[in-house]
Amino acid sequence: MIGPPGAGKGTQAAFLTQRFSIPHISTGDILRAERKRNTNLGRKAASYLDKGELVPDELMVEMIESRLGLDDARTGFILDGFPRTVPQAEALDAMLARLNRPLQAAIRLDLKDDDIVARLVERRVCPRCGRIYHLRNNPPSTDGICDTDGTRLYHRDDDQEATIRNRLKVYRTQTAPVIDYYDKQGLLITIPAHLTIDEVQKRIVTALREEAGTL
């Protein structure tokens, strides 16, 4: 899943993971968990996370390589937040070539900057299960509490306006070239992300069906 922060990658990936019974691998979630556990990687990533900048490619590639090696990823996976640079995309291709399992699709969620900021300032996340809410468009049934596990929701530190603007700049300069990279490989599926969650879901599934014929 490719797209700017707030385009709905996490929300849609959570749906796809159920629909196709394959794991949702969110590099942002993994990094936040590592940071919380104060691991070596978490400590190295912390300052980048705070500023909304990208964690260096070598760390990310190593992290994703070990994650894709776990058993649950053997029949497939949904990557959310990776690759975010062309060198990461190239490293992923090399990894998947070694495993003889080429990428099937790159789903790009497209959204305007003003819509992104409006979404992120009202985004709330469950720290336990990662479920994502929006105060108006997709609120929990009980104010501030996750519907799935009853945990108190939080507002990500990097979802404040100044950091969001920086993350968008980083996206436009470093991640946008990844879109061309997959377009050239004929793998790109672009979905307008301003539509409702359900509508985006339907369009993704339809596009994947057309792409693969068998899903």
Q: Of 8, 81, 130, 140, which lies in the binding site for ligand AMP, with binding defined by CB under 6 A?
A: 81
Structure tokens at 170: 């980083």
The one catalytic residue in 32, 119, 123, 131 is: 123
* Residue 99 burial (10 A CB sphere; 0-12, 13-18, 19+): exposed
Which residue, 31 or 191, has its beta carbon nearer to ligand AMP? 31
Gap between the Cα atoms of 12 and 80, Å rounded: 9
Sort 70 into a burial class: Cβ within 10 Å, 0-12 / 13-18 / 19+: exposed
Strands 188-192 vs 106-110: parallel, antiparallel or unpaired: parallel
10-29 residues in contact with ligand AMP (CB under 6 A) are: 27-28
> Residue 58 corresponds to which tokens in the numbers above?
């070598």
108 binds ligand AMP (CB under 6 A): no
84 in contact with ligand AMP (CB under 6 A): yes
Q: Pick the closer one to ligand AMP by CB: 51 or 211.
A: 51
Q: Under DSSP, is residue 80 helix (H, G, I), strand (E, B) or coil?
A: strand
Binding track, positions 182-211, relative to ligand AMP; x by CB under 6 A: ------------------------------
Query: Which CB atom, from 59 or from 195, has the smaller least distance to ligand AMP?
Result: 59
In the set 32, 124, 167, 203, the catalytic residue is: 167
Handedness of CA 196, 171, 177, 78 (dihedral sign): negative
CB of 45 to ligand AMP, least distance (A): 7
Residue 45 CB: number of other CB atoms within 10 A?
A: 23
Active site residue 84: yes
Interface residues for ligand AMP in 148-187 (CB under 6 A)? 158, 167
- # residues contacting ligand AMP (CB under 6 A): 17
**Is 156 a residue of the active site?**
yes
Cα gap 68→179, rounded to integer Å: 22
- Residues annotated as part of the active site: 9, 84, 123, 156, 167
**Site for ligand AMP, rule CB under 6 A:** 5, 27-28, 31, 48-49, 52-55, 60, 81-82, 84, 88, 158, 167
